Amino acid sequence: MSKVILVTGTSTGLGISIAVQAAQAGHTVYATMRNLAKRAALDAAAKDAGVSLKVLALDVQDSASVQAAVDTIIKAEGRIDTLVNNAGAGFVRSTEQATEAEVDWVMDVNFKGVVRCTKAVLPHMRTARSGHVLTVSSVGGLVGQPFNELYCAAKFAVEGYTEAMASYITPSFGINFTTVEPGGIASEFANNALAQIEGTGGILDDEYKPILMKYVGGAENRQNDGVYQTADEVAEVVMGALEADTPPVRVRTSKWAEDFCALKTQADPDGTKLAKQVFERFLG
């Protein structure tokens, strides 16, 4: 069945791949981004794929912008079947080095943006007694990593938020919740994270520097051990989750990601057992 799908963060990388693949599958896709002046790559990808996308402005850091986009879609389509919370940003900086403004920004983009968009679509999905909110998380939402503590904290928040919603909204209103957990995506996301280091003072000459240099240097080796996937490969996993009859609460996107998170996920790989257990304990 054709769905009305809202995708955030479609100016680059994974967002473009998700929007295009969803349109290729026959869905009506609203591809959104903060700055419509950056839509050229999206338009080119849609043209190459021979699909049509509906493009709207949506800034996940602005509640009014989010609500305006949702209202536009509801007015045109009468429903939103699926929200894909894809917009996000990397941040590589130790806690001591990060300013309070940077901490607020990381949490706002990666976590509060998810909450804003989810909050805007939920009333419509609840009325319909159906829907799916899928959020692109990260293996960093399950496993903390060096110099990524603030980014990981935001993604851990996304994971907890999704688990909690799945524990009572899914059985009560038929709305599914999923987090997709890639290891790494060979896209502009990583480049933007490195640019962010340079844009906020670069690599500082302090006691963290040799540790950070070791981390950055190891990134080259990690490119050869299976950590990075293409945006299209990750989008295929997203589409699989979106089209599943019983969507998972969480899903990794590669063998590398599965292996990396195994100690956290082996008892309940897709999160559905825990969601059921929590529901039964508190509401059963």
Global confidence as pTM: 0.93
**What is residue 219's predicted lDDT score, i.e. its pLDDT?**
61
Ordered DSSP codes for the chain: ---EEEES--SSHHHHHHHHHHHHTT-EEEEEES-GGG-HHHHHHHHHHT---EEEE--TT-HHHHHHHHHHHHHHHS---EEEE---------TTTS-HHHHHHHHIIIIIHHHHHHHHHHHHHHHHT-EEEEEE--GGGTS--TT-HHHHHHHHHHHHHHHHHHHHHHHHH-EEEEEEE-SEESSHHHHHHHHHHHHTT-S-SSTTHHHHHHHHHHHHHHTTTT-EE-HHHHHHHHHHHHT-SS--SEEESSHHHHHHTHHHHTTSTTSHHHHHHHHHHHT-
Residues composing the chain: 284
Annotated catalytic residue within 30, 151, 161, 228: 151
Higher-pLDDT residue of 211 and 238 is: 238
User: Angle of helix 63-77 relative to helix 113-128, nearest 10 degrees?
Assistant: 30
User: Angle of helix 100-107 relative to helix 149-173, nearest 10 degrees?
Assistant: 30
Reply yes or no on whether the pLDDT at 249 is more than 60.
yes
Please compute the mean of the pLDDT values over residues 107-120 and round it to a whole number.
98
Phi and psi dihedrals of 183, rounded to 5?
Answer: -80, -60
CA angle 66, 35, 113 (to 5 degrees): 35
- Over residues 51-79, the pLDDT tens digits come to 999 999 999 999 999 999 999 999 999 99
Burial class, 32, CB count within 10 angstroms (exposed 0-12 / middle 13-18 / buried 19+):
buried
C-alpha count within 13 angstroms, C-beta hemisphere, residue 88? 28
- Over residues 136-157, the pLDDT tens digits come to 999 999 999 999 999 999 999 9
User: Which is nearest to 116 in space by CA: 8, 266, 208?
Assistant: 8
228 catalytic? Reply is no
Domains of the chain: 4-282 (3.40.50.720)
pLDDT band with cut points at 50, 70 and 90 for residue 30:
very high
Structure tokens at 180: 């997709």
**What is residue 138's predicted lDDT score, i.e. its pLDDT?**
96
Whether residue 153 contacts residue 108, with contact meaning beta carbons closer than 8 Å, is answered with no
